[in-house]
Structure 1
Amino acid sequence: MGGTDGAGALRIAELEREIQELQRANETLKQYVSKALDLGTVPTRRRDDPAQPPGGPGGSPMPGPAPGPVPGPAVEFRVLGPVEAAVGGRWVDLGAPKQRAALVLLVSQAGQPVSVDALVETLWEGRPPQSAITSLHAYIANLRRVLEPHRAPRTPATVLCTRGRGYLLNSRAVEVDAHRFWKSATAGWQALDRGDPQRALHAFQAGLDLWRGEAYAEAATTPHVLPEAVRLEELRLSVIESRCATLIAVGNHEMAVPELVAFTQAHPLREYGCELLSLALYRAGRQADALSVLRVHQKRMVEDLGISPSPALRHLETEILRQAPELDGSQRVPGGGSAGED
């Protein structure tokens, strides 16, 4: 078995092929997420908040200096699971189901105005009673008291604001864990671009640790929240794949294998996950298992979807059959051991 001096001794050249593969996949993922978020060329900042300071309550500061002292957000929302809110560091009661549903929609669109019509449609599923507007105003008033308990009477709200014939959750006054997750994902991809897989692993794991269940759990299927919930879930799956790919790139295929087994069982049609599992098994000295994964996936794609496997998977199968040296990657991997050994 080939020894190592730890992660610090891992040469960038030894990771070149793996990093190129990761960049190929991650570039597609970044383009998808950037398009969905309409973030342009500054993916680490929300489009509605160009001066947003790094970090937030309970989170690690993002790289880069803040331009002078900036007050922290007044309210922290957790939406990567059941929706929760903390005001001044204390969790608060968000009220009755319809009141919570109104807040969930506003949080999912933080920084963007939400019309009264959209709120009414969501709360009453397209069948509002005559009292719907009156009830909605009561919900908004209650939420404002909860989110800004110390606001003086008859002073403008600064967290849940009125915008035309609608309402807006001020993105400068709130911190949302979904936004922190996006920052962590972006930081991980940027670290890979710089050839720093260890920092990428840290960033990916920090983002995944924020998840407590289904995004916007109690309202994930409502029409106005569903696209955001689906986008976040797709991003979560992409980050899991990126983290596992990075583990393989630094030689930690033994850790990647069980994670990828669980992942591909839960998401059997994701080809990149299958590709990663097959590669990790091959590097762990399990060539037969690696081929079995590919062939089971190919059969499922043909029988369930009527489509052929991707060229990447067919190429990987060919390379495994001929035991291509390129699949071994680095001959020196962190933690001892040569690629391909059991």
Structure 2
Amino acid sequence: MYSLSVPGERTGPRLPLEFGLLGPLVAHSEDGALDLGPPKRRVLLLRLLLERGHAIPLESLCDDLWTSRPPRGAVSSVHAHISRLRDALEPERPRRGKTSVLVREPMGYALRVPAEAQDAVRFERALGRARRLLGEGRVGPARQEIDNALALWRGAALADAVDHPFAAQEIIRLEEARLLGRELRVTILVREGNLEEAMLSAEELTAGHPLREVTWELLMHALYLSGRPAEALQRYAKLRALLSEELGMDPGPRLRRLQTAILRQDDSWLHALGPPVPPAPPGA
């Protein structure tokens, strides 16, 4: 069966249906890729997936699919899209036969698939495993876990629904989890002594998120441990100027302690502090 992840990274059984939300929406069955149809149908499927098995009233689906006032034929359009999605998700189901995936309930429509059928769920669980492995000192397995997790991303989260308000909060949450995963990977690289790659990754993170202190702390750690303390202090000065100009504030206490340790060349304190481990995202 086709897997949405990189070959060899799956730790559990593959599922009859799998959905990729970490990029443009994709779906696969045991027979390969599914044709999800036009954009509105893809948005409908995303809306159902985000509800994780809970029923959504038909009126709410109409409101969510049309960000302005739903047109007069919205209900009929949703019914047609539901029918086509059922055909795609359960092609072997007899015509007018009972469906077990996209079901109608008293409260509305619900998509009955396991949570782990979504790559977003698998990503966050893998991120949690990587954190736990690192906390146990198992740096190699942690590196493999985080690399596999980040490989699930194919583009922007929920790319098909980026202009729909119902997806806004989940997009923010998933993109934050992705950033935490990238930061965790840099921490792991530093812990395993892969300092050159850690510096390159941290530089990329600071360029994309110039006011995020944890990324600068990671970069300073990697630079100092690479024998480049002057450059680490230059990065601190750059961040301090950015924070002062943009937010009217100084770096936080962790970064100030790190700067002091570098100035004093206090290796024992620096190694005891270590690079930061980003907090786990909610639900990971």
> Counterparts of 1:57 and 1:218 in 2: how far apart (Å)?
17
Q: Does the 8 Å contact 2:20/2:26 carry over to 1?
A: yes
The reply to whether residue 61 of structure 1 matches residue 6 of structure 2 is no
In the alignment, is residue 76 of structure 1 matched against residue 9 of structure 2?
A: no
The 3-state SS of whatever aligns with 1:149 is coil
Q: Which residue is 1:227 aligned to?
A: 169
| 2:99 aligned residue | 157
- Alignment-mate amino acid for residue 269 of structure 1: L
Mapped pair 1:314 → 2:256: yes
SS of the counterpart of 1:167? strand
In structure 2, C-alpha distance between the alignment counterparts of 1:160 and 1:325, rounded to whole Å: 59
Pair 1:209 & 2:114 matched? no
Match of 2:142 among 192, 200, 203: 200
Pairwise CA distance, 1:327: 5.3
Q: Which amino acid aligns with 1:183?
A: R
| Residue equivalent to 1:132 | 74
Q: Distance in 2 between matches of 1:57 and 1:279?
A: 35
* Residue 259 of structure 1, CA deviation: 0.8
Tell me how far 1:153 sits from its aligned partner. 2.5
Number of the residue aligned with 1:295: 237
Partner secondary structure for residue 161 of structure 1? strand
User: For each residue in 1:111-154, what CA deviation from the matched residue of structure 2 results, as whole angstroms up to 9, or x when unmatched?
Assistant: 23223233111211131112111111111011000111001233
> Offset of 1:88 from its aligned partner?
2.1
Structure 1 window deviating more from structure 2 (282-291 vs 245-254): it is 245-254
Once the two structures are overlaid, the 10-residue window that deviates more, 82-91 or 205-214, is: 82-91
Q: Distance in 2 between matches of 1:100 and 1:176?
A: 15
Q: Which runs of 5+ in 2 are unaligned?
A: 273-284
Superposed CA deviations along residues 57-87 of structure 1, whole A, max 9, x for unmatched, are: 755125xxxxxxx8x5321111111111112
SS of residue in 2 equivalent to 1:269:
coil
CA distance in 2, matches of 1:212, 1:282: 33
Matched position secondary structure for 1:276: helix
1:267 and 2:209 equivalent?
Answer: yes
Number of residues of Structure 1 aligned to a counterpart in Structure 2? 267
Task: Say whether 1:114 aligns with 2:56.
Answer: yes
User: Is the 2:127–2:181 contact (alpha carbons within 8 Å) kept by the matching residues of 1?
Assistant: yes
Question: In structure 1, how many angstroms separate the alpha carbons of the residues matched to 2:110 and 2:116?
Answer: 12
The SS at the match of 2:117 is strand
Opposite residue 118 of structure 1, the aligned amino acid is S
Quick one: distance in 2 between partners of 1:173 and 1:299?
Answer: 44
**Secondary structure of residue in 2 paired with 1:213:** coil
The 8 Å contact of residues 147 and 159 in structure 1, kept in 2 or not, is answered as yes
Distance 1:116 1:301 in 2: 47
Q: CA RMSD in A?
A: 1.9
Instruction: Identify if the C-alpha distance between structure 1 residues 137 and 193 changes in structure 2 by more than 3 Å, giving closer, same or farther.
Output: same
175, 197, 201: which one pairs with 2:117? Answer: 175
The answer to whether the aligner puts 1:240 opposite 2:163 as a matched pair is no
The residue type equivalent to 1:101 in the other structure is V
Q: Secondary structure at the residue paired with 1:195?
A: coil
Percent identity of equivalent pairs: 37
Does structure 2 retain, via aligned residues, the 8 Å contact 1:121–1:128? yes
Equivalent residue number for residue 280 of structure 2: none
In the TM superposition, what whole-angstrom CA distance separates every residue of 1:155-211 from its partner, at most 9, and x where no partner exists?
A: 321111223232211123971111111121011011122221111111111000111
* TM-score (norm: length of structure 1): 0.74
For 2:123, the aligned partner's letter is F
TM-superposed CA distance for 1:328, in Å, is 5.7
Q: For 1:256 and 1:262, locate their aligned partners in 2 and report how far apart those are by CA, in whole Å.
A: 10
Q: Distance in 2 between matches of 1:60 and 1:155?
A: 33
Residues 159, 173 of structure 1: 8 Å contact kept: no
1:146 maps to 88
